[in-house]
A = this chain, B = another copy of it.
Amino acid sequence: MKNNTNKMITSRDVDFAQWYTDICKVADLVDYSSVKGSMIIRPYGYAIWENIVAILDKKFKETGHVNVQMPMFIPESLLNVEKNHVAGFAPEGAWVTHGGSEELEERMIVRPTSEVLFCEHYKKIIKSYRDLPLLYNQWCTIVRWEKETRPFLRSREILWQEGHTMHATKEEAMEETLRMLNVYRDVQENYLALPVITGKKTEKEKFAGAEATYTLEAMMYDGIALQNGTSHYFGQGFAKAFGIQFLNKENKLETPYQTSWGVTTRMIGAIIMTHGDDHGLVLPPQIAPVKVCIIPIGEVNESVDKITNELKNNDITFIVDDTDKSPGFKFAEAEVKGYPIRIEVGKRDLEKGFVTLVRRDTLEKIKVNIDDVLDKVQELLVDIQNNMFNRARARRDSMIYNADNYDEFKNIAASKPGFIIGKWCGDVACENKIKEDTTFKSRCLIDEEVSGKCVCCGKEARYVLYWGKQY
């Protein structure tokens, strides 16, 4: 893997937004092009995505899902079938109006999401209860014509997966909605080392066309929330709009219940903004394309070969940086790239019987006998993964505050980055007021049917929520 020079990274405590952009560029994750609002995902960034895709795809298949591929265009009339849905997506569509030199009879939107395409197909293939559940997933690119874009976080083109399932009963559909939310939580916590809060969105914040939207909310280093995936329960809304019906066991026509769920390349943004530091990217071992970077100092081929053979035999990915750059430069570069472990193999160290392992999460240096390298690497990879998760969770938890009244709420919102736990009456007017006054939006419900007072209006509360600023 070729690296560019180790350019300047703005400190994350000085300018977090600039720090983020610097990391994306300097770690060779993305580049820009003349296609405004879209990004090029470079090999190192794409390799992270490939690793995430492999983990998710395996879990989708283990839970009975199969992959399909729908068209990337949606005729306007098809998008119009479900009214809430079209209202949510048409205003941010990329519209194809010409094929070759001819104007199309009907313009088409480049898919912003594919509910209507799946529904049209489901209407054809669902006939009986025997056809249910239908557990489909699609890996593809979607387009949303965002005005302001940032790599991974908000881009006109987004790589994602979208699950779309149909069920005979409401219970099964709700079970699926929560099952996939938990698959996402498992992957984000145990592989991406991202602690997430999961819960239901308010009516105002739910997906256009859904009955209920469940979300995974991660907190970034700067205390701002990143919605890192959603799982929707649709009820029968789309199914009725599309006239999808099936014959049940009693040979009577029924309307099925639907879900959809998706995560995107945005997760890479969350990894950067949760784990990265002023030295660069910090990647969780489970999804790092390169787990170990070996830096030879002097004539140490034999020892490097010994180490690389051991790593190879144990399926631990690695690179050897044997370029003519200085060791110091190589160390910095390994840190920029966020390789979980670097191994400095020096001639003089070897004479004393050791090599130096540096773990990226803490930058701790560990002297290890050459014969113990493999064991130590395996131990560290597990330890780094756990430490990254625990550290992120502890940091997040330290930035969650309780507010009992509006003064407290506004005070915390103005002075402390993070989430606020606050009760709410359920009136969208309060939700809107809080947003207007503090820029905090409802993240998700913690609990329903609670007692106490709404943090905004002081009337009887019905819910407890997380509130926070959002990316």
Interface positions of A (Cβ within 8 A of B) = 1-2, 4, 31, 33-35, 38-43, 46-47, 49-50, 66-75, 77-78, 91-101, 107-108, 110, 117, 120-121, 124-125, 130-131, 136, 140-141, 143, 145, 156-157, 159
- A96, B99: Cβ atoms closer than 8 Å: no
CB distance from A18 to the nearest CB of B (A): 20
A43 engages B31 (CB within 8 Å): no
Q: Are A92 and B98 in contact (CB under 8 A)?
A: no
Main secondary structure of the interface of A (DSSP, over half): mixed
B96 contacts A34, C-beta separation under 8 Å: no
Residues on B with beta carbons closer than 8 Å to the beta carbon of A67: 43, 46-47, 50
User: Please, how many angstroms separate the alpha-carbon atoms of A156 and B96 in the complex?
Assistant: 13
A98 touches B95 (CB 8 A): yes
15 additional A-B residue pairs with CB within 8 Å, beyond A72-B110, A93-B99: A1-B66, A31-B125, A35-B108, A38-B71, A40-B69, A41-B69, A43-B68, A46-B69, A50-B67, A72-B141, A73-B157, A91-B100, A94-B99, A99-B156, A141-B141
Q: In the complex the two chains form, is B35's CB within 8 Å of A73's CB? A: yes
Q: Give min CB distance, A120 to chain B, whole Å.
A: 6
Q: A100-B145, A117-B33 are in contact. Are A68 and B41 (CB under 8 A)?
A: yes
Across the interface, name the chain B residue whose C-beta is closest to A136.
B43
Which of B121, B131, B140 has a CB less than 8 Å from the CB of A2? B131
Which residues of the other chain, B, contact A130 by a CB distance below 8 angstroms? 2
**Residue pair A96, B73 in contact (C-beta under 8 Å):** no
Least CB distance from A47 to B in Å reads 7
Question: Which chain B residue shows the least CB distance to A32?
Answer: B124
Bound-state CA distance A332–B159 (Å) is 40
Q: A92 contacts which chain B residues (CB < 8 A)?
A: 100
